[in-house]
Amino acid sequence: MTTIDSAALANAQKWLTTGIDNDTKECIIKMKEDNPEEFNDAFYRNLEFGTGGLRGIMGIGTNRMNEYTVAMATQGFANYIISQNPNKKLKVVISFDSRNNSVKFADITAKVFAANGFDVFIFEKLHPTPVLSFAVRELQCDGGVMITASHNPKEYNGYKAYWSDGGQLVAPHDTSVIEQVNKITDFSQVKSQQSNENITILGKDFDDIYLQRVLSLSLSPKAIEQHNDLKIVYTPLHGTGGQIVPRALQMFGFNNVHSVLEQSKPDGNFPTCVSPNPEEHSALDLGLKLAQIINADILLATDPDADREALAAKDHNSKWILFNGNQTASIITYYLLSQWQKAGKLTGKEYIVSTVVSSELIKRIAANYDVKCYEVLTGFKFIADKILSLEGKEQYIGGGEESYGYLIGDFVRDKDAVSGCCLIAEIAAWAASQGKTIYDILVEIYQNYGFFHESLLSIVRKGKSGSEEIVSMMKNFRENPPHTLLGQRIVKSVDYLDTAATQLPKSNVLQWFLEDGTKISMRPSGTEPKLKFYFGVASTLSGNDTIETHAALAEEKIEKIKEELHL
């Protein structure tokens, strides 16, 4: 029999004695009596407002995404913005994706901000995360909120908080906002309004402004003109991308785009995929089916808030393959730098950005063009922060991370799958203008810069006990690291909790390098109950070698590492 957790009981009692509605109170009492395990998980803690905002399972409870936790988080965020901008008329912009309750949570967020004296802009319908980031900058707002749980399963929703630069919160704002949110311990502390006073609706006209900026990123318009009939299959996975990506591709000049109809309608239940995550191969099954039927050139997919995209194309045996995030980032980097060089735009002050867990290949490509490659912690907010810190000093070209997120140009300060899809399609057209495919470009990159194979393992541990197990596993790897793996010495170990050694903000990341250049990284996910392991193996790809052969050998190494680490 499950025992009621004392912390859960205290949190639930506080809710029962404050201003929540009677139906919710009845549900709390019934949950405690009928399902104590669920009661404990729903109330044993407050849903943590982390450095990126909120993300959690929807439902009743202090540890759930609901109208009360969203309103309380918004009040704390509003209090902090006010504290940093005394005697100023404040502005904030809000957007939302297709998830269940996203419209409701966005409306609550808008009315809390408005009641606190903000001028509020909110999109009339669902819009991608990059458009929200762009809007913060374009409208000169003091903050922004995107209601989304990105690629999480349907049970989740979330709340991404943005600062005035259009990027997600970084130090010192991130921890300071958390402090203010944690001070809102009672729903009675929240200001809200019933009317739409001081709330402005953003419509299609704003999309036009954003899309013109996306169009300005094009580097090979002649190649698109020659291959405007490139056959593209696109799926938004029931998310926001279906409202804008096909239109963006059309503006670039592509007139042969085929949307996956079964996944084009926004739907928070994501009925055609277990998880609307473009990293999950099964999510792209319908897209691949259509691509095969019409003999497409490339397949593109975006996640629900259209900040991450996936690419698939045919290999030399006409077999469809899904490019991983590192491969796509490497192709984009190679294309951008080669075209900037061709146009005579590389002056020595340009740079790209990658993350510490991404492929070493990206750094090699940048070095070949004498372009700086800055490495930052995992999380696109750190890429945005790097752009902000170098404004007026150096020129950002592009950047990305292994988890399928990329940003070309700096008018957005978060991952942008809208511009990403357009640039990937342009790269395919550019390749076609040379009698090649985008897969050929990948092979050339490997031949010129070395073969790199990456793999990700996510160990899922849900609930309170799962969180504790993840903490224990990281503690054990720190205190009892292996001395060798694959019979090789660990020649370099990096603990990103040691800020003096890394010169980066403190982060719960461990990294080991073997003698042959193999890289192993591990970190708890900041948004899901997962411990993530990143493996990277390098080798040399000669003219007669195939990617498949080297990938198979690399996978054997990775499997041995997993065995030795008891994963």
Q: What is the pLDDT of residues 192-243, one digit of tens each?
A: 999 999 999 999 999 999 999 999 999 999 999 999 999 999 999 999 999 8
177 — pLDDT class (breaks 50, 70, 90): very high
Over residues 237-260, mean pLDDT:
97
DSSP string, 169-203: P-TTHHHHHHHHHHT--SGGG----SS-TTEEEE-
What pLDDT is attached to residue 313?
Answer: 98
Helices vs. strands in the chain: H and E counts, helices first: 19, 21
**What amino acid occupies position 151?**
H
The tens digit of pLDDT for each residue in 346-357 reads: 999 999 999 999
**Which residue is it, tokens 């808030």?**
305
| Domain chopping of the chain, boundaries | 45-202, 210-215+228-449, 451-564
Nearest to 259 by CA among 299, 221, 223, 206: 299
Own/partner long-range contacts of 546-551 (Cβ < 8 Å, ≥24 apart) = 546/316, 547/315, 547/442, 547/443, 547/446, 547/451, 548/315, 550/451, 550/453, 551/453
Judge whether residue 544 has pLDDT over 80: no
* Predicted model pTM: 0.94
Residue 382 structure tokens = 């750190």
Q: Please, which residues have CB within 8 angstroms of residue 79's CB and are 6 or more apart in sequence?
A: 116, 180, 183, 184
Q: 305-345 pLDDT, tens per residue? A: 999 999 999 999 999 999 999 999 999 999 999 999 999 99
Average pLDDT value over all residues in the chain: 95
Residue among 397, 395, 352, 393 at smallest CA distance from 376: 352
Residue 1 is predicted with a pLDDT of: 67
Q: Is 406 helix (H, G, I), strand (E, B) or coil?
A: strand
Examine residue 505 and say whether the peptide bond preceding it is cis (omega within 30 degrees of 0): no
Average pLDDT of the residues in 90-113: 98
The pLDDT value recorded for residue 230 is 98
Q: Are strands 156-163 and 257-259 parallel, antiparallel or unpaired?
A: unpaired
Reference 232, options 302, 279, 281, 283; nearest CA is 302
Cα–Cα distance for residue pair 346/335, rounded to 1 Å: 13
| Span 169-192, average pLDDT | 93
pLDDT band at 534 (very low <50, low <70, confident <90, very high): very high
Read off φ and ψ for residue 37, nearest 5 degrees: -65, -45
| Paired strand residues for 93 | 121, 144
Give the tokens for residue 332.
């984009």
- Chain segment 437-453, per-residue pLDDT in tens: 999 999 999 999 999 99
pLDDT at 186 over 90: no
Q: Given this chain, do its domains 45-202 and 451-564 carry the same CATH topology?
A: no
DSSP 388: H
Higher pLDDT, 431 or 185: 431
Tell me how far apart the alpha carbons of residues 475 and 478 are, in angstroms, rounded to a whole number.
Answer: 5
Continuous H helices in 372-454: 380-389, 417-432, 438-449
Quote the tokens at residue 390: 């170098």
| C-alpha–C-alpha distance, residues 250 and 254, integer Å | 5
Q: Is the pLDDT of residue 155 over 80?
A: yes
Look at residue 545 and tell me whether its pLDDT is greater than 80.
no
For 448-493, the DSSP string reads HH-EEEEEEEEEE--HHHHHHHHHHHHHHHHHS--SEETTEEEEEE
Q: Which two tokens stand for residue 507?
A: 């982060």
Superfamily, domain 451-564: Alpha-D-phosphohexomutase, C-terminal domain (3.30.310.50)
Q: Which CATH superfamily is domain 210-215+228-449 in?
A: Alpha-D-Glucose-1,6-Bisphosphate, subunit A, domain 3 (3.40.120.10)
CB of 423 closer than 8 Å to CB of 215? no
- At 103 the pLDDT is 98
Alpha-carbon distance of 399 to 377, in angstroms, equals: 13
Closest C-alpha to 214, from 487, 452, 430, 409: 409
| Catalytic-role residue among 98, 150, 259, 521 | 150
332 closest CA partner among 297, 359, 303 = 359
Burial class (CB within 10 angstroms; exposed 0-12, middle 13-18, buried 19+) of 517: middle
Position 274 scores a pLDDT of 86
Q: Is 150 a catalytic residue?
A: yes
Q: Which CATH number fits domain 45-202: 3.30.70.100, 3.40.630.10, 3.40.120.10, 3.40.50.300?
A: 3.40.120.10
Q: How confident is the model at residue 540, as a pLDDT?
A: 84
Q: Is the pLDDT of residue 543 over 80?
A: no
pLDDT of residue 546: 82
Closest CA to 66 of 33, 108, 96: 108
Distance separating alpha carbons of residues 352 and 400, to the nearest angstrom: 9
| Paired tokens of 539 | 């080798």
